[in-house]
Amino acid sequence: MAKKIKKIQDYDPAYALLRHYVDFILNLSYRNVRYVGREKIPQDGAIIYAPNHTNALMDALVILAMDTKAKVFVARADIFRHKTLAKIFTFLKIMPIMRMRDGFDEVKKNQKTIEKAVDVLRDKIPFCIFPEGTHQAKYSSLPLSKGIFRIAFQAQELMPDMPLYIVPVGMRYGSFFRFRSTVRVQIGEPINIGEFIAEHSDLTVAEQMNSIKDILTERMTSSILYIPNDEDYEATYEICAAAVKQQVKSFEYTPDGKRAHPLDAHFAANRATVSQIMRLKEENPEKAAKLLALGREASAIRHKERISLASVSIKYPILSRILKTLFFIVALPYFIPISILTLPIKLLCNFIFTKLKDYAFRNSIRFLVNLVLWPVLMIIYSIIAYIFLPWQWALPLTLSLLPAPVVAHEMWRLFRLAKSDIKLLLNKELRSKYRNIREILFNK
């Protein structure tokens, strides 16, 4: 009897076990992970997730952790050239896909990937492809490639009796580069491929793809904090930060009177500011130019003085600041030793960072180093503790070290933000810029 060929979407107990650990470490890597609109995900057919791509590996991990279902991803083909890496990626349920930059002859090889993708969808395993084709660490978007539509159209042709949906997903990170930031994930309105093709049967396939591309672009854009990637991008984002404390007051409650989740209110406030700036550009270009000039000047000063944007945009009540300061002081006896014990993680990350050209991979590196190195260090520290201490002392000591990487990072974050807050408080020029921005934006 011939041996059954294992498919990438087949259940793998080793993968399932690792998946629980990976999801756990992902949730530790962010202070807050919020999913909005999961009820929109269709349950009656096959799904192709179409997320924006801003944060390298972390994007895929955030999508993976959206629910307990296994998912199959695609990644650029050049990372599969090494046989060992190719095996690892296949184990992780990642398939290679060629891009136009690889050359037309290479793109022709995508037919094999498309056939595998169709097979995955036929088994009702969610398939995920980043339609922008590459990542950029900006609150914006890139033109969509046609690969996702080729897969969807061919899959629907081969599965005429099964509904197939492209589900847009928008991810909004509090910071692309800071570990233990936040991430908000919004599920957009799904596109039923079969219904779309039937409703547009008068169009050619190429015309259908162009039309559905426009629809997906619009639905992805509406799911993210979208700032046009032009010469005003940095100024616009700086203005969002300057205005969010006032703007968020309008979004503190949902239409049914419930208090909104802070990430939702913050997201809506920033979108409102961007809309306000775009409207001002059309209605009063002179006023918009003055506002954007202030945004550019504020951004330049803040970067020069190394002031965190969190000091500008996050509203910390006085009591909260006092309590955090007291916590920092009280926790110092714990913070100092765990900072030393987690130093190998910090040093390894910093060493790898010196080799990176793309800052967007920083959080991915931090995640992987913590994922692999901290368990190894815990085993070493536990062995040392049990060798030199009675088990009654070794056990609580070992348990107290389990959250060390997270606590150490949080303590450093509080310290860094305290320094940044003081710098902002002492910088009258920068605070004046922000005050002028708010006066123009809110007509004060």
Residues 150-177 have pLDDT tens digits of 889 989 998 888 999 999 999 999 999 8
Residue of 397, 425, 408 whose CA lies nearest to 328: 408
pLDDT of residue 83: 82
Instruction: Please give the backbone phi and psi of residue 195, each rounded to the nearest 5 degrees, phi first.
Output: -65, -40
* 166: three-class secondary structure by DSSP: strand
Q: What pLDDT band is residue 182 in, cutting at 50, 70 and 90?
A: very high
Give the separation between CA 412 and CA 73, rounded to whole angstroms: 35
Calculate mean pLDDT across residues 28-39.
95
List 181's β-bridge partners, or say none: 30
Bridge partners (DSSP) of residue 48 are 127, 166
pLDDT at site 117: 86
Q: 289: which residues sit within 8 A by CB, 6+ positions away?
A: none
**Model confidence at 106: pLDDT above 60:** no
Answer yes or no: are the C-beta atoms of 213 and 148 closer than 8 Å: no
* 78: its two tokens: 């050049």
- 203-231 residue pLDDT tens: 999 999 999 999 999 999 999 999 999 99
The stretch 393-407 carries a mean pLDDT of: 93
Q: In Å, what is the CA distance from 244 to each residue of 227, 240, 277, 336, 421?
A: 15, 6, 13, 35, 17
Q: Output 101 or 422, whichever has higher pLDDT.
A: 422
pLDDT at 169: 97
Q: Options 3.40.1130.10, 3.40.1190.20, 3.40.50.10490, 3.40.50.150; which CATH number does 13-221 get?
A: 3.40.1130.10
Q: Would you say residue 107 has pLDDT above 60?
A: no
Of all residues in the chain, what percent are helix, strand and coil, respectively (each to 5)? 60, 10, 30
pTM beyond 0.85, yes or no:
yes
Mean pLDDT along residues 132-152: 91
Give the start-to-end residue ranges of the domains of the chain.
13-221, 233-307, 318-426
Across 313-340, average pLDDT:
78
Q: Does residue 220 contact residue 168 with C-beta atoms inside 8 Å?
A: yes
- Quote the pLDDT of residue 85: 79
Determine the pLDDT at residue 317. 55
Token readout for 86 is: 């190719």
Token pair listed for 133: 């084709």
244 is written with which tokens? 């969010």
102, pLDDT greater than 60: no
Residue 319 confidence (pLDDT):
65
Q: Is the pLDDT of residue 413 over 90?
A: no
Asked if residue 57 lies in contact with residue 364, where contact means CB atoms within 8 angstroms, the answer is yes
> Residues in the chain, how many?
444
Answer yes or no: is pLDDT of 104 > 60.
Answer: no
User: What residues have CB less than 8 Å from 413, skipping those under 6 apart?
Assistant: 178, 180
Average the pLDDT over 47-68 and give the result.
94
Please, what is the average pLDDT of the chain?
90
Q: What local confidence, expressed as pLDDT, does residue 108 receive?
A: 61
User: What does the pLDDT read at residue 1?
Assistant: 45
**Residues 74/98/10/64 CA torsion (nearest 10 deg):** 0
* Of residues 316 and 274, more confidently modeled: 274
